[in-house]
Structure 1
Amino acid sequence: MSKPPDLVAAEYALGSVDAERVPWYAADWLANGHDGPALRELAGLDGTDTGLIGELLPDALTEVGVAVPSPADAADAWLATLTQRLLAGEVDERAVSEHVSAFVSWHLDLDEIWRSPFTDLHVIVDEWDQGWGRGNQELAAAVRRLCRDHLDSH
């Protein structure tokens, strides 16, 4: 399955891109009408030379018209995408809090995640189905509010 270049750029900015899959994505981008020397070279790789893939990817993204965002912008875009999935009914509130908690755990060095809504969503994960704290309905409402506030602010 292919990924759009903007999502790959965000993953690259966050250090979480699956480099072995990038040549497949590049080949798909070529098939969709994009072109350029870095993109062609990237699409011709077999995925084993992750160092070369990492070197070529920023230029290939430029060739498809996508800039690598700052880590802060990439994190915001990631949460916006997850929020859109929540609002479309593809994931529920509990899944959102679990995904955000995992995201925070994987990106502890990213200063931008230590602010709301990331921090607020991260701590909610421990409250689901517990006899203390907020009930599940209140948690679900809090997740939706935090996600909508995030979308509204961007």
Structure 2
Amino acid sequence: MDRLQFSAWQYVAEILPAEELPMLAAHALVDGRDSPALRELAGLPRRSNPAEVRDLYVLALRELGIPLPDEETAGRCLLVTLAFGLVHDELSPKDVGNGLSMTVTARTWEETRFLSVAADYSEWLEPDELAQWEKELRTAAHSLAAVTDLGSSIGVPGARSG
């Protein structure tokens, strides 16, 4: 999957910091993507005005014909990414609990279950509660990863395609 297409849902889900966008643009240029706004964005320093960076990023996507997803889709992609990260041992249960953003949303039963369990994370959980929470989270992550059709759209290798 093209890194700019992949970044679009991350941007809407508010997990892609503005300071990373110039480097993302530079990589996209190396990958063969090109537009005036993308070149300008790639030339900005990391510490540029975040509003200017975001505006150039959105303009570059528009120039390249890459649509920004709606907030629901972006939130669901984040949820599925967290589930796959846990299933593939790329994230810890604590990473998942801390990785939720305000834009996370759920549409299916499996997404709702995973979100519900993940949202129960607290640093104040007792050790036995933490172990039970981790077990429930892993079970919910496996259920979601097994049925979702969003995995291929977020670049998860071997994921079901919708």
TM-score range, shorter chain: 0.7 to 0.9
Is 1:10 the counterpart of 2:12? The answer is no
Question: Which residue in 1 is equivalent to 2:137?
Answer: 143
Question: Which residue in 1 is equivalent to 2:97?
Answer: 101
Q: C-alpha displacement at 1:37, in angstroms? A: 1.4
Paired letter, 2:32:
G
Paired letter, 1:103:
G
SS in 1 for 2:113: coil
Question: Which residue in 2 is equivalent to 1:153?
Answer: 148
Residues 128 and 139 in structure 1, CA contact (< 8 A), matched pair in contact too? no
Alignment of 1:50-65 (within 5 A): 50-63=50-63
Q: Please list the CA deviations of residues 65-115 of structure 1 after superposition, one character each: whole Å capped at 9, or x if unmatched.
A: 542222221122122222222222323xxx23x2333234x42xx472694
Alignment of 1:72-111 (within 5 A): 72-91=72-91, 95-96=92-93, 98-104=94-100, 106-107=101-102, 110=103
Question: Which residue in 1 is equivalent to 2:113?
Answer: 116
Aligned-residue RMSD, C-alpha: 2.9
The unaligned stretches of length 5 or more in structure 1 are none
Distance 2:74 2:96 in 1: 14
Q: C-alpha displacement at 1:55, in angstroms? A: 0.8
Paired letter, 1:112:
T
Q: C-alpha displacement at 1:19, in angstroms? A: 0.7
SS in 1 for 2:127: coil
Question: Which residue in 1 is equivalent to 2:153?
Answer: none
Residues 13 and 74 in structure 1, CA contact (< 8 A), matched pair in contact too? yes
Q: Please list the CA deviations of residues 42-78 of structure 1 after superposition, one character each: whole Å capped at 9, or x if unmatched.
A: 1111131211111111232345554222222112212
Distance 1:88 1:31 in 2: 29
Question: Which residue in 2 is equivalent to 1:30?
Answer: 29
Residues 25 and 39 in structure 2, CA contact (< 8 A), matched pair in contact too? yes
Structure 1 stretch 50-59 or stretch 20-29: which is displaced more? Answer: 50-59
Closer/same/farther in 2, CA of residues 111 and 22 from structure 1, 3 Å limit: closer
- Normalized against structure 1, the TM-score is what? 0.72
Q: C-alpha displacement at 1:26, in angstroms? A: 0.2
